Amino acid sequence: MKILIVGGGGREHAIAVAVAESPKADKIYCAPGNAGIAEVAECVPIGVDEFDRIASFAKEKEVDLVIVGPDDPLAAGLVDVLEEAGLRVFGPRKNAAILEGSKAFSKDLMKKYNIPTAAYETFDDAKKAEAYLETADYPVVLKADGLALGKGVLICNTKEEALEGVKSIMLDKQFGAAGNRMVVEEFMTGREVSVLSFVDGKTIRIMTSAQDHKRACDGDKGLNTGGMGTFSPSPFYTKEVDDFCKQYIYQPTVDAMAKEGREFKGIIFFGLMLTQKGPKVLEYNARFGDPEAQVVLPRMKNDIVDVMEACIDGTLDKIDLQFEDNAAVCVVLASRGYPVKYEKGLKISGLEKFKDADGYYCFHAGTKFDSQGNIVTNGGRVLGITATGDDLKAARANAYKAAGWVDFANKYMRTDIGKAIDEA
């Protein structure tokens, strides 16, 4: 098979590595890819938003399967464009990707179908939002309705913070058009857990659990980022939690989308909060998480191409999804100053140390080749250093050891990824 992966980050590198292990994959392309993905795929300089160019390229190369990685092209309807061109695509169509594309839609869906989530109100008028916040109970959570690269969420402890939040989201448009509407949500407390799943429109197969670290600095301080590291499995995701979620959250979400005429095929990522009143949905994503994919995919036993084809064909019920009885930890090496301002184009050394290191992975997120052929930094999150181990503590020790193998001038990382492992 010829396979095209759309995207150019750490998630797409993890997908590409998994696809490369499939005996079905004869040739892998990636658009646009990055310097790490270039080891396993032919990178083509086409942007993820160039739908017609992606379709033309896939037709010209007679691609058998297209895998769409990022959220923006899914929400904008890339799958529909490719399907209309006669291509087989893994990922939700536009009318299903709204599950992530609109916070207001997903909250309304959960309310309608009694899927456990936080109480909320939706506003498209800043004045009305401000009036509501005058009498709200604090803390509250403000969420930009649209896609904001994982950053459009503000936790406000006081009325003053909340009013400032309305200004930044709805009036100053800090997150662009994503802030045209806003959801105000009750603040939930508990452990956060990420659960990824494969879906074929009717059947859902749950992957192993993970936990992300969004804040830029140690101790969960600093600004929200796309994710500074993650571990899998979560020690807090017990059999009781799994049983509850399967009954009240996972299958009901798939069924709700089908009933709404929005058949979902692809990945549903469930962001859960394990509250004292039981698990509740924080958010849905319509694709692999980044960096969650970097710890979940290295633990998956199945051929990823088989599973993705089953999702497209509606035969997922025939797949027995299995994961290794081990653990994985990913530590993100970022550029100092991320997510605000940082230098790019800095040479990276030490990457060769991963070549024959079994159980160690270096997933490229923001890298490229310079004019001399050196691999240099090209983003805020540069590399995701992932390691497996017999248990979480061993995997964490391995990941931090491997993080020391690589260097670049403004290298920065959190030193406490997986701190919850010690609290379990």
pLDDT in tens, 144-178: 988 877 668 889 999 999 999 999 999 999 888 88
Q: What is the pLDDT of residues 79-120, one digit of tens each?
A: 999 999 999 999 999 999 999 999 999 999 999 999 999 988
What is the CATH number that goes with domain 191-318? 3.30.470.20
Instruction: Please tell me whether residue 1 adopts helix, strand or coil conformation.
Output: coil
Per-residue pLDDT at 28: 98
Per-residue pLDDT at 17: 98
Per-residue pLDDT at 220: 93
The CATH class that applies to domain 119-186 reads: alpha beta
Q: Is the dihedral of CA 155, 158, 160, 163 positive or negative?
A: positive
Q: What is the pLDDT of residues 337-353, one digit of tens each?
A: 999 999 999 999 999 99
Per-residue pLDDT at 42: 98
| pLDDT-based confidence at residue 36 (cuts at 50, 70, 90) | very high
For residue 302, report the phi and psi dihedrals to the nearest 5 degrees: -70, 160
Which region among 214-223, 360-369, 388-397 has the lowest average model confidence (pLDDT)? 214-223
Which region among 126-135, 302-311, 406-415 has the lowest average model confidence (pLDDT)? 126-135
**Looking at residues 52-70, what average pLDDT do you find?**
98
Number of H helices, E strands in the chain: 13, 22
Give strand pairing partners of 107.
none
The CATH number of domain 327-423 is 3.30.830.10: no
Cα separation, 91 vs 198, in Å, equals 10
Per-residue pLDDT at 322: 98
Determine if the pTM surpasses 0.85: yes
Element (H, E) at 269: strand 265-275
Do residues 14 and 294 make contact, with C-beta atoms less than 8 angstroms apart? yes
Question: Cα dist. 339→71, 285, 306, 334, 368 in Å?
Answer: 19, 21, 37, 9, 19
In CATH terms, the fold of domain 2-94 is Rossmann fold (3.40.50)
Cα separation, 120 vs 214, in Å, equals 22
Q: What is the pLDDT of residues 1-32, one digit of tens each?
A: 999 999 999 999 999 999 999 999 999 999 99
Instruction: Please tell me whether residue 68 adopts helix, strand or coil conformation.
Output: strand
Cα separation, 391 vs 34, in Å, equals 31
Residue whose pair of structure tokens reads 């995919």 in the numeric block: 297
Amino acid at 179: G
Q: 281, 269, 212, 207: which is closest to 245 by C-alpha?
A: 281
Domain boundaries, the chain: 2-94, 119-186, 191-318, 327-423
Per-residue pLDDT at 182: 92
**Helix residue ranges per DSSP H, 267-303:** 292-296
Per-residue pLDDT at 357: 95
Per-residue pLDDT at 147: 84
| pLDDT-based confidence at residue 69 (cuts at 50, 70, 90) | very high
Cα separation, 293 vs 384, in Å, equals 10
